[in-house]
């Protein structure tokens, strides 16, 4: 009984949010043209992506800095790309944070790192995005906006940062998100570690890879980078990482190679 009441309340709440945050047809169409990897072959999946995008807009708070203007197009671009990974997992996966901060240009972070001899080195790292446990998700708008053009390189900053959000939901950034009952932690770690180590070796040999070589920096970065490629360049990702691709279809509950319209998949890169 309580469960039914709760479900009823939740769907009434979502209906109100969907009315408040309805995305105009022309804006939605433009978003799908600008970011073709958002297009779905399955009409139900296409409808669900638009619904989750509206709910995302309703539940999250956008903050633009440095004179960048918060427009509907900007917010919908980010919300739609963020909704894609949780199309089947559900938007509740993002309940751990509310704020997004969008910058007009790359943010330079001052880093320090101790080497093997204990000597601390300081350096600047330009960032296109950053996700912190419970904190705001930071994104750099020009990188987000270029996501259509950079998809053939498997690059997508929004999906990268939201993969980190999924990973950190259990408090640890370790490449292991909260797994559905059908996936044993051991199976996840065995496949991820094996693919990660093989990838690191390929990057060290300076081979051309479908995934961004940045993924060789740590296993949690490998999970984020592989997730980007899984959604925006799935044919190449599957060709080079078949076992990981198969594992991701079970985790994300999506198979982008069969979900994406053929004209999007076959687009020359």
Our CB check for Zn ion shows the closer of 41 and 146 to be: 146
Q: Answer yes or no whether residue 144 interacts with Zn ion by CB under 5 A.
A: no
Q: Answer yes or no whether residue 79 interacts with Zn ion by CB under 5 A.
A: no
Q: Residue with CB nearest Zn ion?
A: 224
Residue 189 near residue 196, CB atoms below 8 Å: no
Q: Are strands 107-114 and 120-127 parallel, antiparallel or unpaired?
A: antiparallel
Q: Answer yes or no whether residue 224 interacts with Zn ion by CB under 5 A.
A: yes
The stretch among 41-49, 89-97, 215-223, 242-250 that binds Zn ion (CB under 5 A) is 215-223
Torsion of CA 20, 25, 31, 37, to 10 degrees: 100
The stretch among 103-111, 168-176, 218-226, 238-246 that binds Zn ion (CB under 5 A) is 218-226
Our CB check for Zn ion shows the closer of 221 and 233 to be: 221
DSSP-based three-state secondary structure for 108: strand
Give the total of residues touching Zn ion (CB under 5 A): 2
Q: Least Å distance between CB 153 and Zn ion?
A: 16
Our CB check for Zn ion shows the closer of 46 and 131 to be: 131
Q: Answer yes or no whether residue 211 interacts with Zn ion by CB under 5 A.
A: no
Which DSSP symbol is given to 176? -
Residue 209 tokens read as: 């890879």
Which DSSP symbol is given to 110? E
Please count the helices (runs of H) and the strands (runs of E) in the chain. 13, 6
Q: Phi and psi of 200, rounded to 5°?
A: -60, -45
Q: Least Å distance between CB 51 and Zn ion?
A: 28
CB atoms within 10 A of CB 35: 22
Our CB check for Zn ion shows the closer of 28 and 199 to be: 199
Give 197-205's long-range contacts (Cβ < 8 A, gap of 24+).
Answer: 199/241
Residue 238 near residue 211, CB atoms below 8 Å: no
Q: Answer yes or no whether residue 128 interacts with Zn ion by CB under 5 A.
A: no
The stretch among 32-40, 68-76, 197-205, 217-225 that binds Zn ion (CB under 5 A) is 217-225
Our CB check for Zn ion shows the closer of 167 and 259 to be: 167
Judged by the rule CB under 5 A, the positions of this chain that interact with Zn ion are 221, 224
């Amino acid at each position: 009984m309580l469960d039914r009441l709760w479900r009823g309340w939740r769907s009434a709440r979502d209906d109100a949010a969907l009315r408040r945050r309805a995305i105009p047809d022309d804006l939605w169409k433009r978003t799908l043209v600008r970011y073709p990897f958002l297009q779905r072959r399955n009409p139900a999946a296409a409808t669900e992506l638009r619904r989750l995008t509206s709910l995302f807009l309703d539940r999250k708070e956008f903050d633009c800095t440095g004179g960048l203007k918060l427009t509907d197009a900007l917010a919908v671009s980010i919300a739609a790309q963020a909704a894609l990974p949780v199309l089947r997992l559900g938007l509740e996966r993002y309940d751990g944070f509310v704020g997004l901060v969008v910058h007009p240009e790359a943010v330079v972070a001052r880093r320090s790192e101790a080497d093997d001899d204990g000597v601390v080195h300081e350096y600047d790292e330009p960032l296109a995005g950053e996700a912190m446990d419970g904190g705001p998700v930071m994104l750099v708008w020009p990188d987000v906006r270029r996501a259509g053009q950079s998809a053939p390189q498997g690059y997508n900053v929004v999906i990268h940062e939201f993969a980190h959000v999924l990973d950190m939901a259990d408090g640890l950034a370790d490449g292991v998100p909260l797994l559905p009952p059908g996936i044993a932690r051991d199976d996840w770690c065995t496949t991820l570690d094996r693919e990660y180590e093989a990838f690191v070796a390929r990057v060290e040999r300076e081979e051309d890879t479908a995934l961004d070589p940045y993924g060789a920096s740590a296993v949690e970065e490998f999970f984020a980078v592989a997730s980007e490629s899984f959604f925006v360049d799935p044919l190449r990702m599957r060709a080079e990482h078949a076992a990981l691709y198969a594992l991701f279809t079970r985790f994300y509950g999506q198979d982008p190679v069969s979900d994406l319209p053929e004209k999007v998949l076959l687009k020359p890169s």
